[in-house]
Amino acid sequence: MRYDFAAIEAKWQQRWAASGVFRAANPGEAGFDPDKPKFYVLDMFPYPSGVGLHVGHPLGYIATDIVARYKRMLGFSVLHPMGYDAFGLAAEQFAVEHGVHPRQTTEKNIANMTRQLKRLGLSYDWDRALATTDVGYYKWTQWIFLRLHGAWFDPARNKARPIAELEQLLESERLYIMPDGELIEPPAQGLEGIGGTPFGAIRWQELTVHQRRAVIDSRRLAYMDEVAVNWCPALGTVLANEEVTNDGRSERGNYPVHRRPLKQWMLRITKYCDRLERDLDLVDWPEPIKLMQRNWIGRSEGARVDFPLAYGTAKDAQEAITVFTTRPDTLFGATYMVLAPEHPLVDAVTSDPQRAAVRAYQKQAAARSDADRQAEGKTKTGVFTGGHAVNPVNNERIPIWIADYVMMGYGTGAIMAVPAHDSRDFAFAKTFGLPIRDVVYTPALTAIAAFAARADLAATDEKTLCEQMVDFVGLCINQQVSDFDAAYQAILRRREKDTFGGPLGSNRGAIASIWQDTVKALHESVGIARLLAAARKGEVISLLDDAETEHGVNVNSANEEVSLNGLPTAQAKHVIVEWLEKRGLGRKQIQYKLRDWIFSRQRYWGEPFPILHGPDGEVRAVDEADLPVELPAMEDFKPEASDDPSAPPRPPLARAPESWRYVEIDGVRYERELNTMPQWAGSCWYYLRFCDPNNDERFVGREAERYWMVSPKKDGQPHAGGVDLYVGGAEHAVLHLLYSRFWHKVLYDLGEVSTPEPFGRLFNQGYIQAYYYEDARGVRVPAEEVADASGTPAAELQDQIAPLFHHGQPVKRLYGKMGKSLKNAVTPDEICDQYGCDTMRLYEMYLGPLDQSKLWNTRDIIGVHRFLQRVWRNFVNEETGALLVTDEPPGDEIRRLLHRTIKRVTDSMNAMAFNTAIAALIELNNALVSAERLPREVAQAMVRMLSPLAPHIAEELWEKLGRAGEEALMTAGWPGYDEVMLLDAEVVYPVQINGKVRGRITVPSDADEDAVLAAAQQDEQIARNLEGKQVRKVIVVKGKLLNIVVG
């Protein structure tokens, strides 16, 4: 009876489905066991693509399945669900191209992918399967949107609260609104303004209904605003910043994108910057992913500083321009200011003679798309406004420019320019001849200054001077010299006997680059003159021909009240900010890069907003009772590709039947919101729905959510609860994972969920890569049609390959992520047909570490397939079908091997290092080949260890073993090992002489150091090597090795 994987796999997949063994019971349901610990292991759910899965997709799914099965064996109650992220641009594009309604194509694709996934024997609880396009699902997506719409962010508590509470606070005057929109609490006793309100505050009672509504609406977490959006004419929709690539194109489809102002739904994610950043400390995620999120959030600490406008500049403007800077310590070096072209104060500061030039520049900047800007690189452009401001620390009058290297979207849209210590300001100052003033001496600059003060500039030739300086600076930086006199003398002494070879000490950091630049300067005979001219005048100039952005020590930084001179950068920042605060000129400020999330799309295939627009501009939330707002059935759902700047885009839903578009409430006719939500909406919360997918009352039942999401705290570990293991690709590092965290935190603030974070542990699997082939024209050809000259398919060739051909044409072999576009996809179906899914699972796991990208090589699959066949033959007599198992206990050696293997496999499973788990099982199995009959004890342990990895063959063998007493394999338990069995009576020591292995000795494992050494000295080969040499030192690493140091 041979190993018939097809029959075995079909049999067990049917049995599992029929018995529902993988169904996870919620609290209160039949079969729920409150004593079991829970484990929630989740895959990033896929988008149901028309071409189905290739072997790259299931990599993560197989891994989570192994974890799920392993955890079940350890006695956990495991939640392991699967679903589909089915809304979005890709599905709609596919439908448009094929002329079929997206719901049809989506359903068809889901059916196909579900079939493919089931074939892999993945132990999902299919009863919980969902798609974001299910009406019963997106009803709750809309419901969550209403929560966002119905909430505001209270900065005092740093959390979201229901909007009704804001209304109450305003109405009862426990909170006031200032004209700039700031919310303030009532002033302390004695400081009230007229009528008990703060000076300048807007009185709620005096506002009209419209004004009140505007105040409230502008503070919601979901709000409408006219913003410069990323408009993609080809896709006919707005895109999020995260959906636009660096070169100004759409991530989906690679179409051009440009900015245009449009009124859009926005989500106020920026209010959560602080918590999104800080709470990364609570989760167990890969550090690189955390870092990417941190960079995206972009927290900077700095200061806000007001620069008053100089007399004769402003006509009717406010008196000051506010800037944000991370380097307030360089304030004395600010020699000009720059406003973004769109800055509201530009008009006010512009002088009449400059007005035409400023207008022209503004117009030009507005017209330039991001792609154009990119093409121009970092060349600085700008125009002088004619206006001046006053540097508050030294009362200097400095010019105000506008330039597009300052952006309105970050900070205040205005900067103070410190060309000496910021490379962009430096480039701008160079271009326009603006003054540059050093106010921070970095270690390199300090050393150069010290050199210039000591060297005999008049009497030494230029080349020698340069060489001396490089030596001197190198010495000072490398050895952190503070006694410059001694250092200078050392250099002179060295020069006497040494020829010039390079900077003293090892080449490190700053000195290496100075060294390179100087050598270059020497070489080209440029720069030296400049350098020496400056040195002779007692000035210091940077050798690097760029701003010195490193931290250092302040110089030239003092006024009558405050001096930063001599202070290191961190201290200087602190002192100057304190001074500014005291004088009311500035304050400490934390700034983030993250912008609010543009949340509407002008597309059909998305969740409709539960929002109505009234005739007077009222924005009204749909009553909860009226959810869901179903997507209307439409024949023509194509987007309108348009780029008419005067006409707002018409989303497809504008063509929906009037019966859908208009709703009458209390005699008022409302029009529905015609935009739809972006694809991210559905994936923001699906992990919650999986806890309780059929709940009609709530988006997730409270008890189910608590049970699956809250995990017990481990001592000393940062802890946020949430999904216990979330596995997916790193491509979602900032998009999905940031958006989900944001929604989750809002739901947490509003008391709808129990944990501050959605995903307690994240694991990024690598990609599966594969060779792909291009012909002479650079056109990719299908990988399976490529062969060598003799016609052998490329997949079967060795790695050192002969020239390859596609239908006679020579092709080039390249390497990339597997997929449709590279024409190198291999489907799991073809592998399952040929080898079975157990082999497929083992192969993908055996390929290498899960978190690394690795090369798919069909030829190698045979290795793990042979392993399974050998396992089968170790258990079953292929002739008779008889079980080759004995009840005799195993021999001592086999038993020790078994226990060592159990330890290795257990450790590997815990570390998710499935490749090494499989290697250990192969070794054990190979050691058993020679045995006539397998001891039952070994056979049982082996099957248990194999079962998470190759569950079908394991189940079959388990059944043949008689189920070890009626136990289902899933609950059979994971084998344990005995520490004592890991130790051998004797141990082999490699003996090193001066670190080289010269022989090995066998000693009892409890031998002490002297005994080990004595044994080594008796060894013939070792003795020969020691002959005539003196033993200086002996190192014995217990149980590991012996090293004899001789002289």
Partner RNA sequence: GCCGGUGUGGCGGAAUUGGCAGACGCGACGGAUUCAAAAUCCGUUUCUCGCAAGAGAGUGUGGGUUCGAGUCCCUCCACCGGCACCA
Pick out residues in 581-640 that bind RNA (CB under 7 A): 591, 593
Q: Are strands 1041-1046 and 1031-1037 parallel, antiparallel or unpaired?
A: antiparallel
Least gap, CB of 512 to RNA (angstroms): 5
718 preceded by cis ω (within 30°)?
Answer: no
**Interacting positions 382-441 with RNA (CB under 7 A):** 404-407, 409-413, 415, 422, 424
Q: Report yes or no: 767 and 855 within 8 Å, Cβ to Cβ.
A: no
Least gap, CB of 2 to RNA (angstroms): 9
Least gap, CB of 278 to RNA (angstroms): 18
Considering only the stretches 152-160, 311-319, 995-1003, 1004-1012, report the one whose residues sit in contact with RNA under the rule CB under 7 A. Answer: 995-1003
Question: For residue 535, how many other CB atoms are within 10 A of its CB?
Answer: 20
Task: Specify the residue, 684 or 822, whose C-beta has the smaller distance to RNA.
Answer: 822
d(CA 563, CA 565): 6
d(CA 295, CA 384): 33
Instruction: Compute CA distances 118 → 113, 708, 869, whole Å.
Output: 9, 24, 23
Q: Which x/- pattern, by CB under 7 A, does the window 898-927 give for RNA?
A: ---------x-----x-xx-xx--xx--x-
Bridge partners (DSSP) of residue 256 are 249
- At residue 554, the 3 state secondary structure works out as strand
Burial of 205 (0-12, 13-18, 19+ CB in 10 A): exposed
Task: Specify the residue, 169 or 770, whose C-beta has the smaller distance to RNA.
Answer: 770
Alpha helices in 613-734 (DSSP H): 658-661, 680-683, 686-689, 702-709
Task: Specify the residue, 202 or 987, whose C-beta has the smaller distance to RNA.
Answer: 987
Is 376 one of the binding residues for RNA (CB under 7 A)? yes
Task: Specify the residue, 302 or 760, whose C-beta has the smaller distance to RNA.
Answer: 302
Least gap, CB of 495 to RNA (angstroms): 23
Q: Report yes or no: 632 and 656 within 8 Å, Cβ to Cβ.
A: yes
The secondary structure of 436-454 as a DSSP string is ----EE-HHHHHHHHHHHH
**Interacting positions 784-813 with RNA (CB under 7 A):** 798-800
**Interacting positions 687-746 with RNA (CB under 7 A):** 730-731, 733-734
Least gap, CB of 958 to RNA (angstroms): 22
Task: Specify the residue, 646 or 798, whose C-beta has the smaller distance to RNA.
Answer: 798
Is 869 one of the binding residues for RNA (CB under 7 A)? yes
Kindly tell me the sign of the dihedral angle through the C-alpha atoms of 19, 24, 30, 35: positive
Q: Which residues contact 33 (CB under 8 A, 6 or more apart)?
A: 25, 77
Q: Which x/- pattern, by CB under 7 A, does the window 226-265 give for RNA?
A: --------------------x-------------------
Count of CA atoms in the C-beta half-sphere (13 A) of 975: 23
Is 88 one of the binding residues for RNA (CB under 7 A)? no
Instruction: Compute CA distances 250 → 258, 263, 1044, whole Å.
Output: 10, 20, 65
Least gap, CB of 407 to RNA (angstroms): 5
Task: Specify the residue, 373 or 960, whose C-beta has the smaller distance to RNA.
Answer: 373
Exactly one of 857, 877, 910, 1005 binds RNA (CB under 7 A); which one? Answer: 857
Task: Specify the residue, 456 or 879, whose C-beta has the smaller distance to RNA.
Answer: 879
Is 327 one of the binding residues for RNA (CB under 7 A)? yes
Least gap, CB of 1032 to RNA (angstroms): 8
Task: Specify the residue, 668 or 1037, whose C-beta has the smaller distance to RNA.
Answer: 1037
Least gap, CB of 422 to RNA (angstroms): 5
Exactly one of 849, 883, 896, 984 binds RNA (CB under 7 A); which one? Answer: 849
Least gap, CB of 315 to RNA (angstroms): 25
Exactly one of 827, 853, 886, 1017 binds RNA (CB under 7 A); which one? Answer: 853
Least gap, CB of 828 to RNA (angstroms): 18
Exactly one of 155, 509, 538, 1004 binds RNA (CB under 7 A); which one? Answer: 509
Least gap, CB of 128 to RNA (angstroms): 32
d(CA 576, CA 558): 10
What is the DSSP-derived secondary structure letter of residue 685?
S
Least gap, CB of 376 to RNA (angstroms): 6
Exactly one of 497, 523, 777, 1033 binds RNA (CB under 7 A); which one? Answer: 1033
Is 506 one of the binding residues for RNA (CB under 7 A)? yes
**Interacting positions 962-991 with RNA (CB under 7 A):** 988, 990
Single out the residue of 717, 672, 714 nearest to residue 142, CA to CA: 672
Question: For residue 712, how many other CB atoms are within 10 A of its CB?
Answer: 8
d(CA 850, CA 862): 20
d(CA 902, CA 898): 6
Task: Specify the residue, 36 or 1040, whose C-beta has the smaller distance to RNA.
Answer: 1040
Order of strands across the sheet with 77-79? 77-79, 38-43, 725-728, 762-764
Would you give the distance in Å from CA 509 to the centre of its chain? 29
Q: Supply φ then ψ for residue 452, to 5 degrees.
A: -60, -35
Residue pointed to by tokens 């304190």:
578
d(CA 93, CA 111): 19
Task: Specify the residue, 67 or 700, whose C-beta has the smaller distance to RNA.
Answer: 67
Task: Specify the residue, 203 or 508, whose C-beta has the smaller distance to RNA.
Answer: 508
Task: Specify the residue, 166 or 229, whose C-beta has the smaller distance to RNA.
Answer: 229
Q: Which x/- pattern, by CB under 7 A, does the window 269-308 give for RNA?
A: ------------------xx--xx--xx-x-x-x------
Exactly one of 625, 715, 996, 1030 binds RNA (CB under 7 A); which one? Answer: 996
Alpha helices in 394-545 (DSSP H): 423-432, 443-454, 462-478, 484-497, 509-524, 528-536
Least gap, CB of 60 to RNA (angstroms): 16
Least gap, CB of 772 to RNA (angstroms): 13
What is the DSSP-derived secondary structure letter of residue 676?
B
Least gap, CB of 153 to RNA (angstroms): 21
Exactly one of 77, 350, 675, 1043 binds RNA (CB under 7 A); which one? Answer: 1043
Q: How far apart are the first and last CA of the chain?
A: 66
Task: Specify the residue, 315 or 859, whose C-beta has the smaller distance to RNA.
Answer: 859
**Residues near RNA (CB under 7 A), total:** 93
Q: Are strands 768-775 and 780-781 parallel, antiparallel or unpaired?
A: antiparallel
Q: Report yes or no: 777 and 187 within 8 Å, Cβ to Cβ.
A: no
Task: Specify the residue, 215 or 845, whose C-beta has the smaller distance to RNA.
Answer: 845
Is 1045 one of the binding residues for RNA (CB under 7 A)? yes
Least gap, CB of 635 to RNA (angstroms): 37
Q: How many helices (H) and strands (E) does the chain have?
A: 34, 39
Exactly one of 634, 855, 931, 961 binds RNA (CB under 7 A); which one? Answer: 855
Exactly one of 25, 701, 1000, 1003 binds RNA (CB under 7 A); which one? Answer: 1000
Task: Specify the residue, 406 or 450, whose C-beta has the smaller distance to RNA.
Answer: 406
Task: Specify the residue, 47 or 126, whose C-beta has the smaller distance to RNA.
Answer: 47
Task: Specify the residue, 322 or 695, whose C-beta has the smaller distance to RNA.
Answer: 322
Kindly tell me the sign of the dihedral angle through the C-alpha atoms of 449, 454, 455, 458: positive
Q: Two tokens at 445?
A: 């600059």
Kindly tell me the sign of the dihedral angle through the C-alpha atoms of 181, 187, 191, 196: positive
**Interacting positions 334-353 with RNA (CB under 7 A):** 340
Least gap, CB of 1039 to RNA (angstroms): 9
Considering only the stretches 7-15, 55-63, 466-474, 844-852, report the one whose residues sit in contact with RNA under the rule CB under 7 A. Answer: 844-852
